[in-house]
Amino acid sequence: MTAQPTEAGRAPVRSSRTLWPGRAGHGFVAAYTVLLIAFGVIPTGYAVYFAFTDGGGTFSGLSNFSTAVDDFRFTPAIEHVALYLLWWLVSLVVFVVGLALLLHRLALSGVSRALRFLYYVPGALAGAASVMVWLFVLDPSVSPVAFLLRAFGYHTFGEVIAPGHLPILFTLIAFWTGAGGWIVVMYGALNNISQDVLEAARIDGAGAWQTAWRIQIPLLRKWIVYMVILAFAGGTQLFVEPQLLSQASVGVAGRDYSLNQLAYDFAFQNNDVNTAAAVSVELLVVGLVVAGVFVARSGFFDAD
Amino acid sequence: MPTDIRRPAVATPSGSGPLPGRTDRLRSGRPVRGRRNPLPALVLLLFAVFFVLPVLWLLLAATKTDDQLVHDNPLSFGSLHALHANWTALTGYQDDAIFMWLRNSAVYSFLALVITLCVAVPAGYALAMTEFRGRRTLLVATLVVMLMPNATLVVPLFLEVNAVHLIGSMWSIVLPYAFYPFGVYLTYIYFSTALPGELLDAARLDGCSEFGVFRRVALPLAAPVVALVGFFSFVANWTNYYLPYVMLPQSDQFPVQVGLGTLLDSVPQFNPTASTLQVERPELALATLLAIVPVLVVFLFSQRFLVAGMLAGATKN
């Protein structure tokens, strides 16, 4: 077997790929491709099939979609998720970027490091564990911040989790578990900004605000977009938080709150997998479009 | 508005681009200003409290009785006796159910981790270092699926698994867990930036087969990325709730995340209709702690992994 000669003018990464033998490459990716087909492609196709057929397996056009849309829970679920996304994304961008900038300016690097670690510890409680913690934190009878809850005029768990509060509460939970990781990432990205640029700005008389606003944040743009995209895609899939909250409030708050819960209930409460599949297909389309546009447009993943 | 908290120039413990030599110049070049603006420090501190307080409360809650939980200071230590009582009560719930759930979680996460590594590392290697038909398609598909949240496919996966009558089998979650495009992407990035192609060419010239090149040259150099993929895969699988919730109907198959939901249903304060087997709130807090211990341990050693992984998208070039 001979190696390909290195072509001049190509990036070293590319030139190092052997153009032959292709068969070895296929051998290496075979197992992964099987999994990709089995757990990526087939379920997608299956969901599409179910979404466009009725219980008997005959083509039914868009009737499953209209069943879903006409369901009294559908529009509220979209509104819930949209409102939650708004809060979640805004708070994520503002606070993550803000805190990363502050940490970056902190003169004591040991303190900065310790703070980053503390911010990111709740990430270990992702999933059901974070909901458990926040059920307690939001219950005025046991909460460590009961005085705050009372100051806002909430004296019972039921008052705290009133339906109007849920977007903010879910934002709190998501922020608590997720923001720390992103702060660490933004901090890392800030470190990659050349000192020369910052120094030049300083010489030109830029203060902290101006440096942050005109230099650092624009240079972080790519990362902010990346974060927003992932958070948006993840946020549309809200499930465990409202599901457990509805358990904890005997169905008062959080039942059929999100689209995923709705799909779940169609499938498992109403035994209507076709409508469930229709809701899933809608969520899939959102996920695919967002991911696809990002991969194609951002330049983040220049595949070649 | 100038802020006086100066940046430390070389604050790069997390491993991204240190700039040695600059510190002194910056420091000495600027006059020391009078008073520091306390606002940034205050904001940072406030957020530290926000992030840490609930964790601290959780740790302390496990040491209290339900009565102490309500009446004592929220940040007081209960007693070891109460902790022991909570432990006994929790482990007594449905005959050691909590251990069964933890064991399930460990089995599922570990099996999926092993399969993920066996599948993702060769795939990432081939995508980075070899040319084959369909390579680009596979890469783009990987990126797209990677950016899709894993909850997207849960109901479709259920339909598929149901059609092949695997609902209730642990493979119904282990295999979907093992499909981990992010791991493939990380390996791809790692090999294409860290492994010089000349090394592989040299091995080929020496008569190594393609598999031999991977096995003898690439794999021994892949330890960092194996650790990275392992970390992300383990944490993602351990904390997953939705997929096992849908796929595994039997309580004795639950991973601990779903088990927490079951415990929650038995806490009378949250579910007044909870009947026979009641769980006190401190027991639920203790169960939550047990459920996060493995991830917490992994986290303590892995802050740098997280950064490396999340920054992977930018480290190309």
**pLDDT tens for each residue of B148-193:** 777 888 988 998 998 899 888 999 999 999 999 989 988 998 888 8
pLDDT band for position A21 (cuts 50, 70, 90): low
Q: Does the distance separating the beta carbons of B156 and A284 come in below 8 Å?
A: yes
| Residue A90 binned pLDDT confidence (cut-offs 50, 70, 90) | very high
* Contact (CB<8Å) B12/A229: no
Residue A188, Cα to own-chain centre: how many angstroms?
20
The reply to whether residue B149 touches residue A287, judged by beta carbons under 8 angstroms, is yes
Cα(B200)–Cα(B196) distance, rounded to whole angstroms? 7
Does the structure show a pLDDT above 70 at B25? no
Q: Can you give the pLDDT at residue B16? A: 41
Task: Please judge whether A24 and B61 are an interchain contact, meaning their C-beta atoms are less than 8 angstroms apart.
Answer: no
CB contact under 8 A, A112 and B75: no
For B:245-304, CB contacts with A below 8 A are: 245-246, 257-258, 260-261, 264-265, 267, 269-273, 281, 284-285, 288, 291-292, 295-296, 298-299, 303
User: Can you give the pLDDT at residue B308?
Assistant: 63
**How far apart are alpha carbons A120 and A184 in whole angstroms?**
8
- A104-118, B56-70, B74-88: range with lowest mean pLDDT: A104-118
Query: Number of structural domains, chain B?
Result: 1
Write down the pLDDT at residue B199.
Answer: 86
- String of DSSP letters for B220-264: GG-HHHHHHHHHHHHHHHHT--HHHHHH--SGGG--HHHHHHHHH
| pLDDT(A53) > 50 | yes
Nearest to A21 by CA among A5, A8, A3, A7: A3
* Residue B3 confidence (pLDDT) above 70: no
Residue showing tokens 């900065």:
A112
Q: Name all domains of chain A by residue range, CATH numbers in brackets.
A: 75-297 (1.10.3720.10)
- Report helix angle A240-248 to A166-191, nearest 10: 140
Q: How confident is the model at residue A117 (pLDDT cuts 50, 70, 90)?
A: confident
Query: Residue B287 belongs to a domain with what CATH number?
Result: 1.10.3720.10
Search chain B and give the residue with CA nearest A298.
B313
> Is the confidence at residue A2, as pLDDT, over 90?
no
Least Cα distance to B11 among A246, A149, A235, A192 occurs for: A192
Q: Is residue B63 part of a domain?
A: no
Q: What is the mean pLDDT of residues A53-67?
A: 88
Across A257-270, average pLDDT: 90
Q: DSSP secondary structure string, chain A?
A: --PPPPPTTS-HHHHTSB-S-HHHHHHHHHHHHHHHIIIIIHHHHHHHHHHTB-TTS-B-TTHHHHHHHHSTTHHHHHHHHHHHHHHHHHHHHHHHHHHHHHHHH-S-HHHHHHHHHHHHGGGGGTTHHHHHHHHHHT-TTT-TTHHHHHHTT--SHHHHT-GGGHHHHHHHHHHHHHHHHHHHHHHHHHHTS-HHHHHHHHHTT--HHHIIIIIIHHHHHHHHHHHHHHHHHHHHT--HHHHHHHHHTTTSSSTT-SHHHHHHHHHHTS--HHHHHHHHHHHHHHHHHHHHHHHHHSSTT---
Chain A residues in contact with B316 (beta carbon < 8 A): 302
Q: What is the pTM of this model?
A: 0.83
Cα three-residue angle A274-A279-A280, rounded to 5 degrees:
90
To the nearest whole Å, the CA of A155 is away from the closest chain B CA by 13
Q: Tell me the percentage of chain A whose pLDDT exceeds 90.
A: 47
Q: Both tokens of residue A113? A: 């490091």
Model confidence pLDDT, tens digit, residues A121-151: 898 898 899 999 999 999 999 999 999 999 9
Contacts (Cβ under 8 Å, ≥6 apart) of A215:
A193, A197, A198, A201, A206
Q: In this model, does residue B57 exceed pLDDT 50?
A: yes
Cβ atoms B86, B103 nearer than 8 A = no
pLDDT at residue number A301 = 66
Cis peptide before B255 (omega within 30 of 0): no
Average pLDDT, integer, range A212-227: 88
Cα dist from A27 to A31, A33, B119, B182, whole Å: 8, 10, 11, 20
Residue B303: its pLDDT value, please?
64
Does position A119 have pLDDT exceeding 90, yes or no?
yes
**CB-based contacts of A46: which residues, under 8 Å, 6+ apart?**
A277, B156, B159, B160, B163
Domain that holds residue B157: 97-315
Q: What was the pLDDT predicted at B304?
A: 66
pLDDT exceeds 70 at position A15: no
Has residue B201 been placed in a domain? yes
Say how many CA atoms lie within 13 Å of A272 toward its Cβ.
Answer: 16
Hey, is B100 helix, strand or coil? helix
Q: Point out the least confidently predicted range of A164-168, B16-20, B104-108, B110-114.
A: B16-20
Asked whether the predicted pLDDT for residue B316 surpasses 70, the reply is no
- How far are the Cα atoms of A101, A154, A198, A204, B239 from residue A211, in angstroms, in the given order? 10, 42, 7, 10, 39
What is the pLDDT at residue B26? 43
What is the DSSP code (8-state) at residue A164? G
Q: Mean per-residue pLDDT for A74-80? A: 93
B26 touches chain A (CB under 8 A): yes
CB contact under 8 A, A25 and B264: no
Task: From A286, A174, A31, select the one nearest B119 (Cα to Cα).
Answer: A31
Cβ burial of A10 (10 Å; 0-12, 13-18, 19+) is exposed
CA dihedral A72, A77, A83, A84 (to 10 degrees): 160
| pLDDT confidence of residue A10 | 39
**Element spanning A182, H or E:** helix A166-191
Mean pLDDT for all residues in chain A: 86
Q: Which of A191-205, B38-52, B265-279 has the lowest mean pLDDT?
A: B265-279
Rounded to whole angstroms, how far apart are CA atoms A226 and A248? 34
Residue B311 has pLDDT above 70, yes or no: no
- What ipTM was reported for this prediction? 0.84
Instruction: State chain B's mean pLDDT as an integer.
Output: 83
Mean pLDDT of B108-122: 95
Q: Give the distance, in angstroms, between the CA of residue A45 and the centroid of all CA atoms in the same chain.
A: 24
Inspect the interface and report whether the beta carbons of B285 and A103 lie closer than 8 Å: no
Please indicate whether residue A9 or residue A170 has the higher confidence score (pLDDT). Answer: A170
Q: Residues of chain B with pLDDT > 90: what percent?
A: 42
- pLDDT for the residue B297: 85
Residue-wise DSSP of B29-90: HSPPPSSPPHHHHHHHHHHHHHHHHHHHHHHHHTTS-HHHHHHS-TTS---HHHHHHHHHHH
In one-letter notation, the amino acid at residue A111 is: V
Least Cα separation, residue A89 to chain B (angstroms): 16
Chain B: residue nearest A185 by CA? B307
The pLDDT, as a whole number, for residue B2 is: 36
Radius of gyration of chain A (CA): 24
Residues of B in contact with A206 (CB under 8 A): none
* CB atoms near residue A215 (< 10 Å): 17
In this predicted structure, what is the pLDDT of residue B35?
65
Looking at residues B242-253, what average pLDDT do you find? Answer: 91
- The closest alpha carbon to A81, from A304, A276, A238, belongs to A238
Contact A273, A266 (CB under 8 A): yes
Mean pLDDT for the stretch of residues B188-199: 85
Q: Look at residue A53 and give its three-state secondary structure.
A: strand
- Inter-chain contact B142–A36, Cβ cutoff 8 Å? yes
User: pLDDT for A270-295, tens place per residue?
Assistant: 888 899 999 999 988 988 888 888 87
